[in-house]
């Protein structure tokens, strides 16, 4: 079977609540620490250990660089029951801001001795072997804290003033076949880049979907239809942009008709304050040909949450929004041809083409700067385009 450490621990802690003491409801934030403690504690029950022995022959734990200290303790407890192998890449351990990531030399290797290291960059086999070898070389330079020359390799280097110069995102725009990801460390910058691209790139949401939860709270707490209209208009402003008409041009008859329906839907929503009218307003608004969603995932999830309330599956948009995002976390988000997002959200994924807007900003990150840059460039399989206000970059030696 395949499961996450979080999912496995929650299931076992919940099955033996007297020992596992799981938090009530869906764990949030620091409550996950109790989930991991509970998962470890139930393994002290002889009957549970026998269940584990009977259920599995071996335990394989991937992406171990993302484990924290409590997850590591749980893994050790499991390793005392069954043969356990862990896999991970210290250079992709980018969650250092939590200050609880495991250290390989002092924590991982003493418990799980190093068996082998993968040397061949398999991701690029059949795609761009030269790029893969160059990224492997850059990895070594990052590990040693050496200066990197962004122009000395197969990546396309483009000088820029800042991350918001759009040339790199649209370089060879129509020639790129397959998936494209632009990667910036800051979420706000990703949203702005997507907006500036007029929706050509889509900014994706974190699983927690803070903006969706903000809207849900504003909607549920609204004391009038007018307040609900304001909440929805604010969300539409944060998810869509409107293409300007060219000088002398006018809206088509279809757009004029759509505009009329949008106004009618808005009037109805301002009177009823109902989720049903909100869904109609969103649907009609999106039909206008000059409307360009740049956070389409957030907009779709908002409509889904409102529809759940409309169909009486949930009483509040808060609960509906939580359910919508839970489905995303289990089933995965839909793929976009062109994405702009952070290394945190794209780690573990790969794309045919990757664009790095002003790579110099990576060096300003407080935590895991070198690792964030390595994760970003190593998402590319076919081509890598790097814009930067500085051709040469130097990063602090990363923690391993």
Task: Write down the pLDDT at residue 262.
Answer: 95
Residue from 219, 205, 228, 226 nearest 314 by CA: 219
Alpha helices in the chain (DSSP H): 5-15, 17-20, 31-42, 46-55, 69-79, 109-111, 129-144, 167-170, 187-196, 210-221, 225-239, 253-272, 275-287, 296-310, 317-331, 343-346, 369-377
Cα gap 273→145, rounded to integer Å: 57
In which residue ranges of the chain is pLDDT below 70? 98-100, 330-333
Closest CA to 203 of 72, 19, 28, 357: 357
Res 325: pLDDT: 83
pLDDT reported for residue 208? 78
Output the CA angle 172-189-166, nearest 5 degrees. Answer: 25
Question: The tokens of 49 are what?
Answer: 């250990």
For residue range 206-245, what is the model confidence (pLDDT) as tens digits? 877 899 999 999 999 999 999 999 999 999 999 999 999 8
Tell me the pLDDT tens digit for each residue of 136-156: 999 999 999 999 999 999 999
Contact indicator for 375, 362 with CB cutoff of 8 Å: no
Please report the pLDDT score of residue 121 as a whole number: 74
Which residue matches tokens 């409509």? Answer: 303
pLDDT at 375: 96
Instruction: Indicate if the alpha-carbon torsion angle 243, 247, 253, 257 is positive or negative.
Output: positive
The predicted pLDDT at position 181 comes to 97
| Listed residue (25, 112, 99) closest to 60, CA to CA | 112
Task: Give the model's pLDDT for residue 239.
Answer: 97
Q: What is the pLDDT of residues 76-99, one digit of tens each?
A: 999 999 999 999 998 998 887 766
Question: For the whole model, what pTM was predicted?
Answer: 0.85
């Amino acid at each position: 079977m395949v499961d996450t450490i979080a999912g496995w621990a929650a299931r076992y802690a919940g099955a033996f609540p007297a020992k596992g003491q799981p938090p009530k409801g869906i764990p949030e934030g620091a409550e996950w620490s109790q989930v991991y403690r509970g998962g470890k504690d139930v393994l002290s029950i002889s009957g549970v250990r026998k269940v584990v022995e009977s259920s599995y022959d071996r335990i394989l734990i991937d992406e171990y660089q993302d484990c924290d200290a409590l997850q590591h303790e749980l893994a050790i407890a499991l390793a005392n029951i069954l043969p356990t192998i862990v896999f991970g890449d210290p250079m992709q351990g980018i969650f250092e801001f939590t200050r609880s990531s495991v250290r390989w030399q002092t924590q991982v290797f003493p418990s799980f001795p190093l068996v082998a290291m993968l040397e061949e960059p398999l991701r690029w086999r059949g795609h761009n072997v030269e790029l893969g070898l160059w990224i492997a070389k850059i990895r070594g330079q990052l590990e040693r804290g050496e200066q990197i020359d962004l122009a000395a390799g197969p990546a396309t280097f483009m000088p820029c003033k800042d991350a918001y110069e759009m040339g790199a995102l649209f370089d060879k725009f129509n020639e790129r076949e397959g998936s494209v990801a632009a990667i910036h460390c800051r979420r706000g910058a990703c949203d702005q880049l997507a907006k500036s691209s007029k929706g050509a790139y889509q900014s994706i949401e974190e699983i927690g979907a803070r903006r969706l939860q903000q809207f849900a709270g504003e909607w549920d707490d609204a004391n009038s239809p007018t307040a609900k209209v304001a909440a929805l208009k604010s969300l539409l402003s944060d998810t869509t942009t409107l293409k300007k008409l060219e000088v002398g041009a006018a809206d088509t008859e279809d757009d004029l008709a759509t505009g009329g329906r949008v106004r009618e839907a808005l009037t109805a929503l301002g009177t009823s304050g109902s989720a049903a009218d909100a869904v109609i307003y969103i649907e009609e608004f999106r039909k206008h040909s000059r409307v360009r969603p740049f956070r389409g995932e957030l907009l779709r999830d908002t409509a889904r949450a409102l529809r759940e309330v409309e169909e009486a599956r949930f009483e509040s948009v808060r609960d509906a929004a939580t359910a919508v995002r839970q489905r995303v976390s289990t089933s995965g988000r839909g793929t976009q041809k062109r994405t702009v997002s952070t290394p945190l959200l794209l780690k573990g994924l790969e794309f045919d083409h990757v664009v790095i807007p002003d790579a110099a900003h990576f060096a300003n990150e407080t935590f895991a700067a070198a690792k964030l840059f390595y994760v970003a460039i190593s998402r590319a399989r076919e081509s890598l385009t790097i814009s930067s206000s500085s051709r040469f970059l130097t990063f602090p030696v990363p923690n391993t």
